[in-house]
Amino acid sequence: MSSCRRRDLPAPCPSTNTVAQELARQGPMRPAMVQRWRCATNTTGRITRLLAGWESGSGPLAQRLAAAVTDLVDQGDLRDGDTMPSERSLGAALMISRGTVTEAYNLLRDAQVVESRVGSGTFVTSVGGRGGGGPRGDARLTSFGSHPVPRRHDLSSGAPGGLDLVVEHSDRVLRQARLADLVADDGYEPAGLLELREALAGYYADLGVATSAEEVLVTSGSQQGLAMVAAALVRPGDVVLVEDPSYRGALDAFRAQGARLVPVPVDHSGPDLEVLERLVRQLKPRLFYSLPIAHNPTGSVITPARAAGLTQILSGSRTILLEDGSPADLMLDADRPPTPVGHGLPPEQWVALGSVSKLFWGGLRIGWIRARSSFLDPLVRAKAVADLGSSPLTQLVAASCLSVVDEARAARRRQLETGYAAAAAILNADAPEWSFTRPGGGSGLWVRVPGLDASAFGQHARRHGILVSPGPVFSAVEGCREYLRIPFWREPDALGDGLTDLIALWRDHQRAPTLGTTAGPRHPSP
């Protein structure tokens, strides 16, 4: 993998090494350690994500902020006893003055939504909060589908738009006699249509993994598959290893099951095997969640040596590899993805996820779980309870599209090569301070901006109509604070306009060192 700068990049999230190495040096987790790492997720980060768009509407900022927090309590996103961020940290994260947060907290205290204890902080109260309930996610997917602030540029999503061939194959399916046969039946297939499961078995066979239709469960997108596997395998308190950074939806899914997430540093060659080996040996984790091919968000592709080392480490344990191959077909330096890493493990230690969203189109909402049939049987029953099965129509379209998977891979590769070249040229010319490495796959750049508070800058950019994903949303420990994920799949003109405006906004941000403690010109403090 070639670098776009004269110097090599550091590990994607240097702060992760501190967490992982300290854990690796320790013996089995003692209760105090468990509590410490359970609380490693930054409260400010989660609440900031939940408050996305809070500033829309009318009235003084403090009233808007208090109303937004009250809504979170009413909806159960914040519960009795939850710790609120300090006034200073929330003000910095939202890029408003501390005085505005103080006024908002006063309004919340008056309404008995929160209470403050000297020396302890501010907490949601039983009067205002719903209380109780099970574990919750981290609100890392809030950028999807909710944009209360007018947008000029959306640089937040790494999911490419659909290929033209999806329209062609949809039209073909609508004219097939098979559709008429399906419509004549009830349309409920919890495991998925046989023709799609057979097509997916062929997909894996082409990658060197013999697979039967009985080893595939069709889901409504890979996110549903991820949530189902997490619910089946993870119990509150279980240790789950995750790469850092990692797919933000996975962090949400595991936290929703009460998992204790422990980060494993990842670089351009794959996960850090020394840290992984120590954590597996000492913590005996339930799962290791990995995106080894076209990693999200870094775009790295695991090397054969790392892949062999990973399977060797896990094969001597009871840890299950949950391998997410959802982005694997987006290869920049190869015609097709390599063989999945987990094929070298015993069947009971490997569960694979996949999706047509990245390669074909996310709107099809078709994903899958590939695992031994005995593991899938209870999940099929759970799928029936959840939604009685995914859409037969989009399953037919997905099966038809898979018949031209190599053509689709080539089309995506051309699109992403063009986008990467455009993004790299702009960043090299207009933001030489920003560092990135050419990814081996995926649809985005993992960009380091020295000295940046990415979460605060993301709030600032949102107010100026630019949506961007800050590094901490991809980190189990709110690390990667100097990183932004920049998608490059859009058309060069749209991509260029968005990047140019983002860089200009960053330069203005650099010239305004007090910006993190003020509301900015568009939202003055009352």
Q: Quick check: 160 and 363 in contact, CB under 8 A?
A: no
Per DSSP, the three-state class of 136 is: coil
Give the per-residue pLDDT at 316: 85
Distance, C-alpha 7 to centroid of its chain:
28
Place of tokens 């944009």: 147
Tens digit of each residue's pLDDT (9 = 90 or more) over 367-410 = 999 999 999 999 999 999 999 999 999 999 999 999 999 999 99
Query: Residue 106 above 60 pLDDT?
Result: yes
Q: What's the whole-model pTM score? A: 0.81
Q: What is the mean pLDDT of residues 200-223?
A: 98
What is the set of domains in the chain, with CATH numbers? 42-124 (1.10.10.10), 153-162+407-517 (3.90.1150.10), 167-404 (3.40.640.10)
What is the rounded end-to-end Cα distance, in angstroms, of the chain? 51
Give the per-residue pLDDT at 31: 42
**SS3 of the chain: helix, strand, coil, percent, to 5:** 45, 15, 40
Please report which helix (H) or strand (E) contains residue 320, including its range.
strand 320-324
**Smallest Cα–Cα separation from 443: which of 339, 340, 286, 328?**
328
Ramachandran angles phi, psi of 47, nearest 5° = -70, -35
Q: What is the mean pLDDT of residues 312-317?
A: 94
Query: Residue 515 above 90 pLDDT?
Result: no
Give the per-residue pLDDT at 366: 98
CA separation, residue 63 to residues 34, 59, 78, 85, 525 (Å) = 38, 7, 18, 17, 11
Say how far apart CA 465 and CA 55 lie, in whole Å: 13
Q: Considering only 140-149, 333-342, 503-512, which range has the smallest mean pLDDT?
A: 140-149
Place of tokens 């119990």: 235
Query: Residue 15 above 80 pLDDT?
Result: no
Give the per-residue pLDDT at 514: 46
Q: Considering only 135-144, 376-385, 409-418, 482-491, which range has the smallest mean pLDDT?
A: 135-144
Q: Which residue has the higher pLDDT, 275 or 48?
A: 275
Mean pLDDT, the chain, whole residue set = 86
Ramachandran angles phi, psi of 271, nearest 5° = -70, 155
Residue 72 tokens, joined: 């979170």
How many other C-beta atoms are found inside a 10 Å radius of the C-beta of residue 145? Answer: 6
Query: Residue 120 above 70 pLDDT?
Result: yes
Q: What is the mean pLDDT of residues 144-155?
A: 66
